[in-house]
Amino acid sequence: MLRYILTRIIGLFGVLLIVSALTFALMHKVPGGPFDAIALEKQQMIPDEIKAQLNEKYGLDKPVFEQYLLFVKNAVRLDFGYSMAYPGRTVVGIFKEQWSYSLQLGLLTFVFSIIVGVGLGIFSSIKPNSFLDYFGTGVSIFCLVMPSFVFAILLQFVFSAWLGWLPTGGWSSPRHWIMPVLANSLAPVLVLQRYTRASMKDALRANYVRTAKAKGLSRRRIIFVHVFKNALTPLLTVGGPLAAGLIVGSFFVESIFRIPGIGFYFVSAIGSRDYPMIMATTLIWTLIISVAYLVTDLLYALADPRVNLLKEE
């Protein structure tokens, strides 16, 4: 187990290095620079002398390879420098101040998705070809074909513009949370519903279920004590990465509902060519997802003794 963990950690550093190099190279391949984007946004030209001073201040006057080596040296110390779009604010400072909004949205989305997705999956599996099964399948199909950003705009039109029940954006009260959580839950509900339904149906056909029935155990006890416990193992495969993807922020949902989280700042950083913010967000997102996959593998091995991680190397 320890050898497997060390191997995965070494591989994680390799993944971060490759992702950082590709992101850095592609970022600098885009025509123009951050100060050209800022000048275009403000609709005013920046004098060449001031632009040269800004390039020198942020190290953009150096060769790209030298800039990358300097970035890696600082990133190891978790120093991503100052944001170009928000002068005077460090990238780490922005993360500390704004990540709580993304974290709240992600946790609320995850809890709601578990309740709806796992609940529909359970009822669809124990009552096949019933109204609940068709309803769960209909919900999953809707989540599959409806993009989250389209659903977000549709929610704003219906509940804000038409009915006037909910505010169009923000994150200051529970009334502001409803539409972002609904829009952000489409993909998680789809994944959890389909995985739960499939794993529960497989577990219901297992031999130990027939043995439990022969012993006279109640149907409720069989489903929620024996079947659901064994059906949880496949859910670990998607649950960990799903939760990690939610807590790093939703780019589209945060932008549409004007939630000042990391996803909102990342979209703004792309538009303004904020190099430090782009690099930091990409690396932190990659790190969290990679760690989530590692933790998921370990939990899967603990939940299922038949899994031997050393043989998977």
CATH number of the domain bearing residue 247: 1.10.3720.10
pLDDT in tens, the chain (313 residues): 677 778 878 888 888 899 999 988 888 887 666 666 555 555 566 666 776 777 777 777 788 888 889 888 888 888 888 888 787 888 889 888 888 898 899 889 988 988 998 888 888 888 878 888 888 888 888 888 888 888 999 999 999 989 889 998 888 888 999 999 999 998 888 888 888 888 888 777 777 778 877 877 777 777 777 777 776 766 777 777 777 777 766 778 888 898 888 888 888 888 778 888 888 888 988 888 888 888 777 776 666 655 555 554 4
Whether residue 114 is contained in a domain is answered as yes
Nearest CA among 255, 268, 246 for reference residue 156: 255
Residue 293 lies in a domain: no
Range of the domain at 121: 99-267
Q: Is residue 216 part of a domain?
A: yes
290 lies in a domain? no
Residue 296, domain member (yes or no): no
**Within a domain: 50:** no
Other residues' Cβ atoms within 10 Å of the Cβ of residue 236: 19
**CA atoms within a 13 Å half-sphere pointing along the CA-CB vector of 243:** 13
pTM: 0.80
Asked whether residue 44 is assigned to any structural domain, the reply reads: no
Does 273 reside within a domain? Answer: no
Tokens of 299: 């939990």
Domain count, the chain: 1
CA 10-15-19 angle, to 5 degrees, is: 155
Q: Which of 107, 77, 105 is nearest to 92 (CA)?
A: 77
C-alpha to C-alpha distances, 21 to 63, 168, 263, nearest whole angstrom: 14, 39, 22
